A and B are shown apart, each in its own frame.
Chain A
Amino acid sequence: MKLPYVEYEAPTTVAEAVGLLAEHLDQASVLAGGQSLIPLLALRLARPAVLIDINGIHELSGVSATDGRVAIGAMTREYVAEESESVADTVPLLAAALPLIGHEAIRSRGTVGGSLAHADPAAELPAVARALDAEFVVRGQSGMRVIPAAEWFEGYLTTSRRPDELLVEVRFPAAGRGTGVSFQEVTRRHGDFAIVGLAASLTLSDGAISDARLAFAGMSDVPVRAAAAEELLAGERPSTELFDEAARRATRDVDPPADLHGSSDYRKTVAAVMVRRGLRAAADNARERQ
């Protein structure tokens, strides 16, 4: 369908955008890459009175690596992050997830901040942000807030961003030596949202796991950490038996949604497979990065 009638604003600075958000509040939708919002408009699932198009705000684009972290401007296109050496070198889990988003033409326009602000629980980037405890920087007229990933995702397509705030930057911690990663997903078709996805990161020191991070996509209304499995893994040495047990614990207390792509039980079964595969691949990757 054609898009519904909507007012259009195209600010060129963050201050201007924040002013417009303060004026229109929840009557406004922020338009970044548009790869999710434009379909929502076409399908009448979103009916904002005003679109605030942030594509002209140049200060919102860019990747910068500083003191152990990589800061990605909210308007940074997914293909730019995908091609960034800084992302590949310092946040390999993000680099592994980016090529799995939609298709090439989607990543030409889609943005890192847009995907994370849209907060689709089956999308790749929310799981990566949750696994790595990324930080979300938002700006409002009253100033800046830094929100940890654990508090960012509040529900289906819902974040803790207030209507008068703009997501300006997302900060990902740099992976240290001995950290191996893997992003696993099962989709109906190439480029689809995951039926189940898993962001996995393992750090090995002297052959033992010193840090384990597992976050599921598609298993709840928000990306979720597999805390019980992470606790089991910490301090242990990688083995098939350990990873089998981690898969059991990761899927013991979950109640994934059912839809036409898969029942809840199917998702649980797939999730266990993702954990075993993800841990094996992350451990292999960690050994290469010692």
Chain B
Amino acid sequence: MVDIILRINGATCTGSPEARKTLADFLREDLNLTGTHVGCEHGVCGACTVIVDGRAVRSCLMLAVQAAGSEVTTIEGLAPDGGLGPLQQAMWDSHSFQCGFCTPGFVMQAAAFLSDHPDADERQIREALAGNICRCTGYQSIIDGVLLAAERNRER
């Protein structure tokens, strides 16, 4: 067990995970933040994507102990009041979600990308989301949702 302190969704959290515990399992099992989904557990599917210190990362490929001192944002942190954030609303409006398993990963990857690239075009969004796998939607509605979020963001 290793004692760690980190910030998650704006709040200071402490924990004592085993060294081998991934950040994904620490979030889900120790902190009950089950919005982060675990798919392949070896970095291929993108479902577990969270934002660590401003960068999208695969939380199944990072140990919880490595997040000590970091600022972590999970899907629960995008709209802390329980509603939908602007990106989530735009994706909802575009029917970006079907079964929902891949959803938190796509949303977090898109959130990280749009915050760095607010003027992103469709090709750049496709490139940024290429590491996330969805078995239902056919992707087009996901791309539409992220494009809509970018557009609404520019109008504001």
Contact = CB atoms under 8 A, between A and B. Distances in A.
B131 interface: yes
Nearest to A108: B55
Interface string B1-31: 0100000000000000011111001000000
A74 B21 CA distance: 25
B65 interface: yes
A6 to B, nearest CB: 5
Given A39-B42, A191-B130, A34 B20 contact: no
Q: How large is the interface on B (under 10, 10 to 19, 20 to 34, 35 or more residues)?
A: 20 to 34
A103 B55 CA distance: 12
B100 to A, nearest CB: 20
A51 interface: yes
A284 B35 CA distance: 49
A55 interface: yes
A61 B52 CA distance: 18
The secondary-structure label for the interface of chain B is: mixed
B33 interface: no
B131 A106 contact: yes
A5 B20 contact: yes
B63 to A, nearest CB: 7
Given A2-B25, A43-B42, A8 B61 contact: no
Contact of A104 (B19, B56, B61, B63): B56
B153 interface: no
Nearest to A189: B130
Interface string A104-132: 11101100000000000000000000000
A157 B21 CA distance: 25
Contacts, number: 84
B61 A39 contact: yes
B2 A8 contact: yes
Greatest chain B CB density within 10 A among A41, A42, A79, A191 is at A42
Contacts of A41: 20
B55 A79 contact: yes
A104 B20 contact: no
B46 interface: yes
Nearest to A41: B20
Contact of B61 (A6, A109, A191): A109
B37 interface: no
Interface string B54-90: 0111101111011000000000000000000000000
Given A38-B62, A108-B55, A190-B131, 15 more contacts: A2-B41, A8-B19, A10-B65, A34-B63, A35-B43, A39-B42, A41-B20, A53-B66, A55-B66, A104-B127, A105-B56, A106-B61, A106-B131, A108-B52, A108-B56
Interface of A: 1-8, 10, 31, 34-35, 38-39, 41-43, 51, 53, 55, 79, 102-106, 108-109, 190-191
**3 cross-chain pairs, A with B, having the tightest CB-CB distances, nearest first:** A103-B131, A8-B19, A39-B42
Interface of B: 2, 18-22, 25, 41-43, 46, 49, 52, 55-58, 60-63, 65-66, 109, 113, 127-128, 130-131
